[in-house]
């Protein structure tokens, strides 16, 4: 019998997370995770839950009472929206312009819905004119589902326009805000969106494993009016979850991930302290600096400027450069994680995330310096130092503009 490997405590390496998620956590969030465990019906925990819901309403810019974190990653939030709102036979228009629109389609099929797919080129936002044409051709559509910020490409669709069209034609909306919440404007009440979901680990910079969701009164009415049987998931049935997260009662439903909820509370508190508009502006400022640096290296964006997410930058890999080698070198030599392309874009793009606490000037300059060095070692011809200089120029221009506005 061979001697078993001695297992010791796990200590992860220190990385700078500049991919599509998770993002780096603020030290205050990390410290909050280490606080004592208390019971999920403890009065102190219940008070924290109420504050957490209030903070989430601020982040989502909504007054929806049913706004709370699902216990599970963004995929659980997604599935909760579909299993509660889609009944067998319901026609659902699914807008697919990347990987996560495809996951929406999978959910419709598993719920017994009748999907109508609006396929858009990957890297393009969903075209409102195409949606309107489909709605006119399918007047019995019950729900329109789309991804606000497509993580696989970095494209942002016009949520206001798409929600307006759905409502005009009598359909509810399910909106994926996993990558947008906290990094770019998400305005649930202004959009009059009906069911939205996100994730804790992207622009909120919390530990993975929680999914903030929010449901309108219209969505709740549809859940309560279901006529074709119970919600297929016991765990995600809003009728049951509400007994735990509701306004007046606290009936045991499942063991809530207490310390993760503490951390989400802290991350949302940090967002409130910074101010949503300031957070959005910070993501945009760092995006513009990164963009200046990447373009100075000769790299080209996948997404057109008008639809580009500031927190997720997708660029084409230069001809003759091996995708995996670059990512491995950045990870092993510089402790920087970036994202690969998915699906048909695998091996063709890199995805650089500037999300939440990771969206900082020092990270932009670190990434540009490291990427320039790695590409240079691989024979890619470019002006060494030009990327950092361009980023500094973008920051200087921003500071000058800000000073001019104050004067």
Query: pLDDT at position 55, please?
Result: 98
Query: pLDDT at position 256, please?
Result: 87
Q: d(Cα 151, Cα 153) in Å, to the nearest integer?
A: 6
Kindly report which listed range (5-9, 170-174, 263-267, 388-392) carries the lowest average pLDDT score: 5-9
- Mean model confidence pLDDT for the chain: 96
17-47 confidence digits (pLDDT tens): 999 999 999 999 999 999 999 998 899 999 9
Q: d(Cα 18, Cα 368) in Å, to the nearest integer?
A: 11
Sequence-distant (≥ 6) Cβ neighbours of residue 137 within 8 angstroms = none
Reduced to 3 states, what is the DSSP secondary structure of residue 355? coil
How confident is the model over 180-209, as a mean pLDDT? Answer: 98
SS3 content of the chain, % helix, strand, coil (to 5): 45, 15, 40
Phi, psi of 93 (to 5 degrees): -85, 120
The total number of residues written for the chain in this structure: 407
Q: What is the pTM of this model?
A: 0.96
Phi, psi of 165 (to 5 degrees): -65, -45
Q: Does residue 1 surpass a pLDDT of 60?
A: no
Q: Does residue 128 surpass a pLDDT of 80?
A: yes
Query: pLDDT at position 248, please?
Result: 63
Strand-strand pairing, 336-337 and 149-150: unpaired
How many percent of the chain have pLDDT more than 70? 98
Instruction: Go through 316-329 and write b for each residue having 16 or more CB atoms within 10 A of its CB, e for each that does not.
Output: ebbeeeeeeebbeb
How confident is the model over 72-78, as a mean pLDDT? Answer: 96
Taking alpha carbons only, the member of 254, 73, 34 closest to residue 178 is 73
Identical fold between 27-272 and 276-402: no
Q: d(Cα 168, Cα 185) in Å, to the nearest integer?
A: 23
pLDDT category at 173 given cuts 50, 70, 90 is very high
Query: pLDDT at position 407, please?
Result: 76
How is residue 45 written in tokens? 């925990």
Q: Distance from CA of residue 245 to its chain's centroid?
A: 23
Phi, psi of 246 (to 5 degrees): -70, 175
Q: What angle do CA 318, 322, 324 make, to 5 degrees?
A: 125
Strand-strand pairing, 16-17 and 195-197: unpaired
Q: Distance from CA of residue 68 to its chain's centroid?
A: 16
How many helices (H) and strands (E) the chain has is answered by 14, 14
Task: Name the residue ranges covered by the structural domains of the chain.
Answer: 27-272, 276-402
How confident is the model over 50-79, as a mean pLDDT? Answer: 97
Query: pLDDT at position 2, please?
Result: 67
Query: pLDDT at position 4, please?
Result: 80
Strand-strand pairing, 349-353 and 312-316: antiparallel
Give alpha helix (H) positions in 207-341. Answer: 217-224, 238-245, 258-274, 276-296, 323-334
* Dihedral, CA of residue 156, residue 29, residue 78 and residue 250, to nearest 10: -140
292-338 confidence digits (pLDDT tens): 999 999 999 999 999 999 999 999 999 999 999 999 999 999 999 99
Strand-strand pairing, 336-337 and 172-176: unpaired
Indicate the burial class of 381 (C-beta count within 10 angstroms; 0-12, 13-18, 19 or more): exposed
Q: d(Cα 117, Cα 96) in Å, to the nearest integer?
A: 7
Q: Pick the residue with more confidence: 406 or 55?
A: 55
Instruction: Give the CATH class of 27-272.
Output: alpha beta
How is residue 193 written in tokens? 């969106």
Strand-strand pairing, 16-17 and 336-337: parallel
Q: What angle do CA 348, 354, 359 make, to 5 degrees?
A: 160
Q: Select from 3.90.1150.10, 3.90.1200.10, 3.40.640.10, 2.60.40.10 the CATH code of 276-402.
A: 3.90.1150.10
384-399 confidence digits (pLDDT tens): 899 999 999 999 999 8
220-268 confidence digits (pLDDT tens): 999 999 988 899 999 999 988 877 777 666 777 888 899 999 999 999 9
pLDDT category at 186 given cuts 50, 70, 90 is very high
Residues forming beta bridges with residue 211, ordered by sequence position? 70
Strand-strand pairing, 172-176 and 195-197: parallel
Q: d(Cα 183, Cα 311) in Å, to the nearest integer?
A: 6
Taking alpha carbons only, the member of 125, 130, 271 closest to residue 203 is 271
């Amino acid at each position: 019998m061979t001697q078993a490997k001695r297992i010791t405590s796990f200590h992860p390496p220190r990385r700078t997370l500049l991919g599509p998620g998770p993002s780096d956590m603020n030290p205050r969030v990390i410290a909050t995770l280490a606080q004592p465990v208390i019971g999920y019906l403890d009065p102190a925990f219940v008070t924290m839950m109420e504050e957490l819901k209030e903070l989430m309403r601020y982040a989502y810019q909504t007054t929806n009472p049913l706004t709370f974190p699902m216990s599970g990653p963004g995929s659980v939030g997604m599935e909760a929206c579909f299993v509660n709102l889609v009944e067998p036979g319901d026609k659902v228009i699914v807008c697919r312009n990347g990987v996560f629109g495809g996951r929406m389609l999978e959910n419709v099929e598993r719920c017994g819905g009748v999907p109508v797919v609006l396929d858009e080129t990957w890297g393009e936002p969903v075209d409102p004119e195409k949606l309107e044409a489909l709605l006119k051709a399918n007047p019995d559509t019950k729900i329109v589902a789309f991804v606000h910020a497509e993580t696989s490409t970095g494209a942002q669709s016009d949520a206001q326009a798409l929600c307006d069209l759905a409502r005009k034609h009598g359909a509810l909306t399910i909106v994926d805000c996993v990558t947008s919440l906290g990094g770019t404007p998400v305005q649930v009440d202004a959009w009059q969106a009906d069911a939205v979901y996100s994730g804790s680990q992207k622009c909120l910079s919390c530990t993975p494993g929680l999914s903030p969701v929010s449901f309108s009164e219209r969505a709740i009415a549809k859940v309560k009016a279901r006529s074709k049987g119970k919600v297929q998931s016991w765990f995600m049935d809003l009728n049951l979850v509400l007994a735990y997260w509701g306004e007046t009662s606290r009936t045991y439903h499942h063991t809530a991930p207490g310390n993760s909820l503490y951390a989400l509370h802290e991350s949302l508190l940090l967002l409130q302290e910074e101010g949503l508009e300031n957070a959005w502006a910070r993501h945009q400022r760092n995006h513009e600096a990164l963009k200046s640096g990447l373009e100075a290296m000769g790299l080209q964006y996948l997404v057109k400027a008008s639809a580009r997410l500031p927190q997720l930058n997708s660029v084409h890999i230069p001809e003759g450069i091996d995708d995996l080698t670059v990512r491995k070198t950045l990870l092993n030599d510089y402790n920087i994680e970036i994202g690969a392309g998915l699906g048909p874009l695998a091996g063709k793009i890199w995805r650089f995330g500037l999300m939440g606490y990771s969206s900082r000037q020092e990270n932009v300059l670190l990434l540009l310096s490291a990427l320039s060095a790695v590409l240079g070692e691989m024979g890619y011809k470019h002006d060494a130092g030009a990327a950092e200089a361009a980023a500094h120029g973008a920051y200087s221009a921003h500071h000058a503009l800000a000073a001019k506005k104050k004067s």
